[in-house]
């Protein structure tokens, strides 16, 4: 009688562990579906650890982008927008079009006074390879 109870207990424990692993695998599949990586049939499914590392790095990248957007909004709110007249003609046209859609968008153009463009080369036209 004791071995039957132990066997039933072991079967319950195994079933609970199997359910836990199925739930974990389902959660990782859902995570793989929302993180950016190639989902084609020719690409192998990410391992559990690779999925978690990619998700962590993606979250950190999104946090950095959010922080940069916050700095940009703070910069725009300071009223230090560059006037369209000081931009090159094509950039001025783009700034005017953006300003027509939303007044704050015209200030988004990168210019010498833009605080996040330090060390970047000036904007040029796209080469033929694009």
pLDDT of 34 over the 70 cut: yes
pLDDT at 43: 86
126 located within any domain: no
Model pTM score: 0.53
pLDDT of 26 over the 80 cut: yes
pLDDT at 47: 94
119 located within any domain: no
pLDDT per position as a tens digit, 64-118 = 999 999 999 998 888 755 544 444 555 555 555 445 444 443 343 333 344 444 4
41 located within any domain: yes
Residue 54 and residue 35 in contact, taking contact as beta carbons nearer than 8 Å: yes
110 located within any domain: no
Find the helix or strand (DSSP H, E) in which 71 lies: helix 48-77
Residue 123 and residue 91 in contact, taking contact as beta carbons nearer than 8 Å: yes
106 located within any domain: no
Question: What is the distance between the alpha carbons of residues 103 and 93, in angstroms, rounded to a whole number?
Answer: 14
Please state the rounded mean pLDDT for residues 15-29: 97
């Amino acid at each position: 009688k004791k071995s039957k109870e132990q066997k039933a207990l072991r079967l319950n424990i195994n079933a609970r562990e199997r359910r836990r692993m199925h739930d974990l695998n389902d959660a990782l599949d859902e995570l793989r579906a929302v993180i950016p990586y190639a989902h084609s049939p020719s690409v192998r499914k990410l391992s559990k650890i690779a999925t978690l590392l990619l998700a962590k790095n993606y979250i950190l990248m999104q946090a950095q982008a959010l922080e940069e957007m916050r700095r940009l909004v703070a910069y725009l709110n300071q009223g230090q927008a560059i006037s369209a007249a000081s931009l090159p003609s094509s950039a001025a046209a783009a700034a005017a079009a953006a300003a027509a859609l939303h007044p704050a968008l015209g200030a988004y153009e990168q210019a010498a006074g833009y605080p996040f463009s330090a060390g970047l080369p000036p904007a040029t036209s796209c080469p033929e390879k694009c």
